Amino acid sequence: MLVEPRSGARIESECFIRHADAFLRHEPTAKALRPEVVIRFGAPHASKVMAGWLRDAECEMVVVGESPFLIDPDRRCTMHVIANPDAVCEDVLKVVARSAAAPAWLGGWVAAEQSSRKVIASLLDDEAALSEPGVARTVAAALPRGASLMVSSSMPVRDLEWYAGATDHLRVLANRGANGIDGVVSSAVGVALASGAPTGLLIGDIAFLHDSNGLVALRHRPADLRIVVIDNDGGGIFSFLPQRNTLATDRFEQLFGTPHGTDLAVLANAHGLAVESVSTTAQLRAALVAQGPRVIVVRTNRDRNVQQHDDLHAAVARALDGA
């Protein structure tokens, strides 16, 4: 079972695969794990790597969901079942043969997952200088059981999917789609107020600025909202795309990077909110304990972020080669 955080099914068991985005980049592993049938419940993962692997697999793909609207950008779905996922699972269990022995193919998935978990934990837990993947992993781990976590586009929702541990202690929410950075602060305020529970918001600087009106009068509201802003002074996602290397840097920055230079701590202060800047895992963990509304700012660097993702994937690949 490949589980992303929004599924609510990201439990500790190694049969619940978290790090497919990392290990499917390793070609021999991706080939060895080629599926014959895929059953997808709900929306696709954010991972482009997983989408490419599914596209190449030429397998049967059943999509199960309650909505009649099918999200299938690569036109891979061979059967669309519009039904309640729980009811479908219960019906399937009545007809499939159940055996005590795990199927042979499961071993390959569990082995790849185990190797990836070890590498990702060793590189991200307690890293001295926080990376963006490390922030996503730490935020998910540090929020208390029963909390909600809203994640923004573009990198936070991806980093959470790719690098977080188990997240079944949380209710994870995201606005996905073409306008992925619209209204994210306001959505999180709504979640915090409606749930009455601790709520985390993991958000990039541009999405934060784009909806900073959501901070208006927040200090007067009974919202335990703990906002973590990853400030890489622009849109970090674009540094992963081909235009980063095909355009001159100043043109890339003007069109895609869009650095703004705004002091986000001052902005949050202007709304009378408590603000803290952190740079280590321990500081972030400690800052997440206090109740909100409050803002925690982590400064990162877009080019270094690409390198840190590459380093993580290279380390996972080395572990898989040695396995």
Interaction with ligand TPP in 114-153: which residues (CB under 6 A)? Answer: 152-153
Closer residue to Mg ion in complex, CB, 236/292: 236
Nearest to 183 by CA among 168, 173, 169: 173
Nearest to 176 by CA among 291, 36, 52, 5: 5
Q: Does 165 bind Mg ion (CB under 5 A)?
A: no
Residue 54 burial (C-beta neighbours within 10 Å; 0-12, 13-18, 19+) = buried
In sequence order, which residues have a C-beta less than 8 Å from that of residue 118 and are 6 or more positions away? 319
Nearest to 113 by CA among 2, 260, 219: 2
Residue 161 binds which of Mg ion, ligand TPP, none (CB < 5-8 A, kind-dependent) = none
Q: Which stretch binds Mg ion (CB under 5 A): 59-67, 187-195, 234-242, 310-318?
A: 234-242
Interaction with ligand TPP in 147-186: which residues (CB under 6 A)? Answer: 152-156, 179-182
Cis status, amide bond into 103, omega within 30 of 0:
no
CA–CA distance, 62 with 93 (Å, rounded to integer):
16
Closest residue (Cβ) to ligand TPP?
204
Residue 192 binds which of ligand TPP, Mg ion, none (CB < 5-8 A, kind-dependent) = none
CB of 297 to ligand TPP, least distance (A): 12
Contact 17, 109 (CB under 8 A): yes
CB of 58 to ligand TPP, least distance (A): 31
Tokens of 237: 């996602």
Q: Does 204 bind Mg ion (CB under 5 A)?
A: yes
Closer residue to ligand TPP in complex, CB, 205/224: 205
Distances (CA, A) of 265 to 27, 215, 234, 282: 43, 12, 16, 20
Interaction with ligand TPP in 183-212: which residues (CB under 6 A)? Answer: 204-207
Interaction with ligand TPP in 227-266: which residues (CB under 6 A)? Answer: 232, 235-237
Binding site for Mg ion (CB under 5 A): 204-205, 232, 236
Binding site for ligand TPP (CB under 6 A): 152-156, 179-182, 204-207, 232, 235-237
